Structure 1
Amino acid sequence: MISRFSVTGFKNFKDTITLDFTNTKGYNFNDQYIVNGIVNKGLIYGRNGVGKSNFGFALFDIVKHVTDKNIDSDNYHNYLNADSDSNIAEFSYELSFECGTIQYNYGKSDLETLVYEEIIINGNRFAFIDRRVSTIAEINAKGAENLEKDIGNSNLSIISYINKNTLLTENNDNSCFSKFIKFINGMLFFRSLDGNSYIGFEQGSSGILEDIAKRGNTKDLEKFLNTAGVDCQLSEIERDGSNSIGFKFKNKTVPFYSIASQGTKSLALFYFWLQRFRNSQEISFIFIDEYDAFYHHELSELVIENLLGSSAQALVTTHNTSIISNDLLRPDCYFMLTKIDFKSLSHRTRKDLREAHNIEKMFKAGAFNG
């Protein structure tokens, strides 16, 4: 899991902003959402314009150069902070696995161009390169002794270079490296605002309804929508030579998107991804941006409950205060992003928060603005 992440000089983050998943409190309720001292599920709040979406893009920047998965480059325009004197954006990840810890630091001048990289596994420098100084990489991975160290003007990530060109010796640090690669490949970002875009986990695109029908989940989608308060019957229909889904009425079936509300369309998108992370070990980290922009508060809670059932580490951005509740999560799983810091509610007050506290009421009253 990701235990800590920092970003500097990227988009609106001129100065370093850090999200520390290990800075938890010793609450004795909903402890299933803290795994080995690390927040496994969290919600992010913040005023418009503080960078909630941009933080997600920063967190998923790694997908571009470590994996071959999908990246929506339109979200990475204006890459560098316009007020920063630095010509690079810098990213720092700390991850924790059973085999130990990994720290991965790198800088980029844009989405495509790596400037430096350093990966440290269990305190040992596994690999390093700084293209500002030399094109020769330092590679200390066991089994990579014969790998060419001079990578020339190639912009290839040293991480991908080692992973794709070496059969590493079986040892603890190399095992951690493999888990790191697998984790990054399993990261998924999606949103329904400004179009249905996603980052990571898969390649290419597919129709949402066509995918659901192909997987044989049309009736399960119907059940999901009914539970969400959308009273409907669904049926498969043929559209453009493939199976799709429509709303079934007494006399005819109407194509789904021709009459679905924006909220129902957003639910279909959520279900499209729910198929993948429900009972799946392949998705490692989920980031959903403004997931409930079109939802009633009861529906928002239902969607969060579905997400909580996933084994993946997950973060969700939202403005919906009705789901700030100790019944759902706990104060150290609710985070507030401001222009100067990123802390959980439990670290934004001197008050000793307890399970019986109405933290939504406290939030609205400004108790966590400090």
Structure 2
Amino acid sequence: MLEKFSVTNFKNFNEKLTLDFAASDYQFNPQSIKDGIVKTAIVYGANASGKSNLGFAILDIVQHLTRWNNSDIHYNHYLNKLNKTPYAEFEYCFKFGQNKVIYRYSKMDHNTLLDESLHIDDKEVLSVRRIGVKDVNFSLQGTENLNKDIIDSDKLSIIRYVQENTVLIDSEETQIFKEFHGFVNKMLFFRSVEERSFIGLKNGEYNIFQDIIKKNNVQDFQEFLNEAGIACQLKTANDLFGERLVFMIGDEEVDFSSIASSGTLALSLFYFWYQRIQVNKTSFVFIDEFDAFYHHNLSKFVVKKLKEIDVQVIFTTHNTDIMSNDLLRPDCYFILANNQITPINKLTDQELRAAHNLQKLYKAHAFE
């Protein structure tokens, strides 16, 4: 799991911003926590506070360590305009069982890597330095004879180079390396139905409803909508353009996408990714403005669906109706403001208990 993340000089994050997922000692809603790390987090922040950019920053790692490099548009204006340092810096701290992995790197832009280093349990196993004194370190077992010309290839990550060009010797260290790379390969970012953009898990375009039909998920999708409180009956129909998804209204077939509400369309997008999250055993998901079209009960439904499965999730929202100890707990709600992101229990001297009304406290400015 991702235990801690830091970024500096990326988009609107001029100074170093650190997101720490360390859980506090609450005894309720344990499903929101795994191995002492926040598993389900909700981030609040004013407009332009950087909630979307936080997602882009965390998923930046996907762009150069995996083949899911389909999101250049999100990485325009890469560096902070007020910071004169010519590169952004990133640090990821992962925890896999009792083992810790720290991956640091710097970039001049979306595609240009400078320094990189990977530590496993405090030991540097891979590094390349292109700033100042140039150097390459291959200490991971099985990498000793790799070509060090990677130092001149600033578009190629040393991690991906090792992954694609080495048969690693089987050891605890290489297993942790593979677990780290596998985690990154299964990270996902997606956002609202209007833009329908995503990072991770796949490349190319997609059609939500054709995907449901192709995978024979029409009945499952209907049951999912019914569970969410949207009473409907669905089937497929054929026309000159092929199969399409339709509502049954009495005896009449009505095209799904033509009459579905914005909330139902947004829920359809969530269903599309929810299937992939389960099938691919996705490791980490960032859902930006996840409930922009939802009633608050539907928002709770979506959070609960992901809380029930083994995936680390960050939601961003403005919806305070779901800031409740009935859903999560104080160490799972974060406030992003003034280049800092902090769980609400760290923003007050008051001891927050299960009976507290977090929304009421938030609206009374208790967490400022």
TM-score range, shorter chain: over 0.9
Unaligned runs of 5+ in 1: none
CA contact (8 A) 1:135 1:153 kept: no
Q: Which amino acid aligns with 1:115?
A: L
Structure 1 equivalent of residue 289 of structure 2 = 290
Give the Cα separation in 2 of the matches to 1:166 and 1:98: 25
Deviations 1:195-222 (A, max 9, x none): 1111001222221011111222112211
Give the Cα separation in 1 of the matches to 2:350 and 2:158: 46
Structure 2 equivalent of residue 54 of structure 1 = 53
CA contact (8 A) 1:136 1:150 kept: no
Q: Please identify, of 130-139 and 333-342, the stretch whose mean Cα deviation from structure 2 is larger.
A: 130-139
1:43 equivalenced with 2:49 (yes/no)? no
Q: Which amino acid aligns with 1:210?
A: Q
Q: Which amino acid aligns with 2:113?
A: L
Which runs of structure 1 show a deviation greater than 4 angstroms over 4 or more consecutive aligned residues?
239-242
Deviations 1:279-314 (A, max 9, x none): x46200011000100111111111111111121111
Deviations 1:229-287 (A, max 9, x none): 32322111236754331112234322211111211110100011111223x46200011
Give the Cα separation in 2 of the matches to 1:77 and 1:98: 36
Give the Cα separation in 2 of the matches to 1:163 and 1:134: 25
Give the Cα separation in 2 of the matches to 1:39 and 1:302: 19
Matches within 5 A, 1:58-73: 58-73=57-72
Q: Which amino acid aligns with 2:124?
A: R
Q: Give the alignment's TM-score, normalised by structure 1.
A: 0.95
Q: Please identify, of 177-186 and 138-147, the stretch whose mean Cα deviation from structure 2 is larger.
A: 138-147
Structure 1 equivalent of residue 232 of structure 2 = 232
Q: Please identify, of 207-216 and 182-191, the stretch whose mean Cα deviation from structure 2 is larger.
A: 207-216
Q: Which amino acid aligns with 2:326?
A: D
Structure 2 equivalent of residue 265 of structure 1 = 265
Deviations 1:171-199 (A, max 9, x none): 11111100000000010111115411110
1:141 equivalenced with 2:140 (yes/no)? yes
Secondary structure at 1:151 match in 2: helix
Q: Which amino acid aligns with 1:4?
A: K
Structure 2 equivalent of residue 7 of structure 1 = 7
Matches within 5 A, 1:310-321: 310-321=309-320
Secondary structure at 2:148 match in 1: coil
CA contact (8 A) 1:136 1:151 kept: no
Structure 2 equivalent of residue 274 of structure 1 = 274
- Percentage of pairs with the same residue: 44
CA contact (8 A) 1:4 1:19 kept: yes
Count of residue pairs brought into register by the alignment: 367
Q: Please identify, of 143-152 and 313-322, the stretch whose mean Cα deviation from structure 2 is larger.
A: 143-152
Q: Which amino acid aligns with 2:362?
A: F
Task: Decide whether aligned partners of structure 1 residues 89 and 152 sit closer, same or farther in structure 2, where only a CA change above 3 A counts.
Answer: closer
1:77 equivalenced with 2:63 (yes/no)? no
Unaligned runs of 5+ in 2: none
CA contact (8 A) 1:281 1:312 kept: no
Task: Decide whether aligned partners of structure 1 residues 114 and 240 sit closer, same or farther in structure 2, where only a CA change above 3 A counts.
Answer: farther
Structure 2 equivalent of residue 19 of structure 1 = 19
Report how far residue 136 of structure 1 moved.
4.7
Give the Cα separation in 2 of the matches to 1:240 and 1:133: 63
CA contact (8 A) 2:105 2:113 kept: yes
State the superposition RMSD in angstroms.
1.5
Q: Which amino acid aligns with 1:47?
A: A
Q: Which amino acid aligns with 1:324?
A: M
Q: Which amino acid aligns with 1:12?
A: N
CA contact (8 A) 1:44 1:315 kept: yes
CA contact (8 A) 1:208 1:269 kept: yes
Structure 2 equivalent of residue 219 of structure 1 = 219
Give the Cα separation in 1 of the matches to 2:86 and 2:211: 42
